[in-house]
Amino acid sequence: MSLRIIVWGTGNVGRPAIRAILSHRDLELVGVVVANPDKIGVDAGVIAGVAPIGVVATDNWRALLTAGADAVVYCATADIRPQEAMADLLACLEAGCNVVSSAFYSYLHPESTLPDILRPVSDACDRGDSSLFVSGIDPGWAMDMLPALVSGTSSAITEIRSREIFNYALYDQPHVVRKVIGFGGDMAVLPLMLHDFAIEMVWAPMVRMVGDAMGQTVDAIEVSVERRALETDITIPGMGLFAAGTQGAFRFEVRGMHEGKARFVLEHITRIDDNCASDWPYPPTGQGCHQVIISGNPDVTISLHAHDHFEPGAAGGGNASAACWLVNAIPAVAAAAPGVLTLLDLPSIDGRRQIGTRLP
């Protein structure tokens, strides 16, 4: 029998999540939750860019939970509405719905989550006999599963590094690009995302996960941030003017220390214009990639880029891979014991039930 799935949110991750569910042999899409009034009553297939499927979007999430589902793919943003998103999450878990999500960073690595933050979610899982799995691409599979896997191709390893290089002119979230990430902002003001506490909340769990997978506990976290200003004005369609002298690029590292050495490192190199910070690394091709760099014998570098058939550019491919990772994890999450799960609590996540299937 197929698992009954609700998708909550139809933005950059929600749309490919709908498509991934429709092509999965063991999953059935039974509901889609939207906040935009213009999407209410629209067929979910149309929203996702495929043929109509007979499931229409609604803002009545309570009715969907009451009707019953095995899991919710929660794709609504939590960055700018944390209290509302947490209330949504607890409602799903208490209703007995497992949740997979890219939104709730505090639960990426529950062993390092503060008890007062972890307890309400753990209690909701116990009451609903449900589980939560938070992942994506970054943070997510490119930063925890892939480094652990690639480490098996080397010996005498001194460092395991994961890296994102990306041009955020491709990211279809103008408010986040300006207000959270800080592009186009005053260089004298550190944007929300680049404060140490924010970087540690979102990305320290990844280096801790790699350390756990390698059997080497991370003893301490170190963070460093560099920023560069735009040298000229640029205009990006849909986002407007980014003035010379405002933030145009940043680079940060999260170093997971083990016995005084940075064994596990996560790095971001992020631009709003490809001409900014020209001395920093670029993707091998295009405007975005993820890399795993193993320093050992041999040195190993893996560079990857995803291309989605529906959503354009590097951002579209990355978002689609995050959605597919979450959707393909659903059967394992549904079969797991109640609680907040990590990659290390689950069997291998793969696409075996996606092979040979078709979208409507």
Q: What letter represents residue 324's amino acid?
A: C
The pLDDT score that the predictor gives to residue 55 is: 98
Q: Mean pLDDT, to the nearest integer, of 218-230?
A: 97
Q: Mean pLDDT, to the nearest integer, of 23-48?
A: 98
Q: Are strands 3-8 and 71-74 parallel, antiparallel or unpaired?
A: parallel
Q: Mean pLDDT, to the nearest integer, of 219-235?
A: 97
pLDDT at 214 over 90: yes
pLDDT at 131 over 90: yes
How many other C-beta atoms lie within 10 A of the C-beta of residue 101? 26
pLDDT at 264 over 90: yes
CA 118 remoteness from chain centre = 19
Q: What is the DSSP letter of 180?
A: I
Q: Are strands 3-8 and 27-33 parallel, antiparallel or unpaired?
A: parallel
How many other C-beta atoms lie within 10 A of the C-beta of residue 99? 31
The pLDDT score that the predictor gives to residue 184 is: 96
Q: Mean pLDDT, to the nearest integer, of 176-203?
A: 94
Q: What letter represents residue 140's amino acid?
A: G
Is residue 175 very low, low, confident or very high in pLDDT (cuts 50, 70, 90)?
confident
Tokens 């003001």 belong to residue? 189
pTM score of the predicted model: 0.93
Q: Mean pLDDT, to the nearest integer, of 121-138?
A: 97
| Assigned token pair, 11 | 């933005």
The pLDDT score that the predictor gives to residue 172 is: 75
The pLDDT score that the predictor gives to residue 170 is: 85
pLDDT at 160 over 90: yes
Domains and CATH numbers, the chain: 3-137+317-354 (3.40.50.720), 155-297 (no CATH)
Residue 41: CB partners within 8 Å, gap ≥ 6? 56, 57, 58
Is residue 299 very low, low, confident or very high in pLDDT (cuts 50, 70, 90)?
very high
Which of these, 256, 269, 193, lies nearest to 220 by C-alpha position? 256
pLDDT at 342 over 80: yes
pLDDT at 313 over 80: no
pLDDT at 314 over 90: no
Query: What integer best gives the mean pLDDT of the chain?
Result: 96
Cβ atoms of 21 and 348 closer than 8 Å:
no
| Assigned token pair, 13 | 């991750």
- Complete edge-to-edge strand list for the sheet that includes strand 27-33: 57-58, 27-33, 3-8, 71-74, 98-101, 131-134, 339-341
Contacts 24+ apart (CB under 8 A), 183-186: 183/242, 183/246, 183/247, 183/248, 183/272, 184/241, 184/242, 184/243, 184/246, 184/247, 184/272, 185/246, 185/247, 186/246, 186/247
The pLDDT score that the predictor gives to residue 1 is: 79
Torsion of CA 116, 198, 269, 100, to 10 degrees: 40
Rounded to an integer, what distance in angstroms lies between the CA atom of residue 72 and that of residue 299? 40
How do residues 78-118 score in pLDDT, each as one tens digit? 888 999 999 999 999 999 999 999 999 999 999 999 999 99
The pLDDT score that the predictor gives to residue 297 is: 98
Residue 344: CB partners within 8 Å, gap ≥ 6? 209, 212, 213
Which of these, 177, 104, 161, 163, lies nearest to 340 by C-alpha position? 104
Tell me how long the chain is: 360
The pLDDT score that the predictor gives to residue 286 is: 86
The pLDDT score that the predictor gives to residue 85 is: 96
Cβ atoms of 256 and 211 closer than 8 Å:
yes
Is residue 273 very low, low, confident or very high in pLDDT (cuts 50, 70, 90)?
very high
Phi, psi dihedral angles at 301 (to 5 degrees):
-125, 125
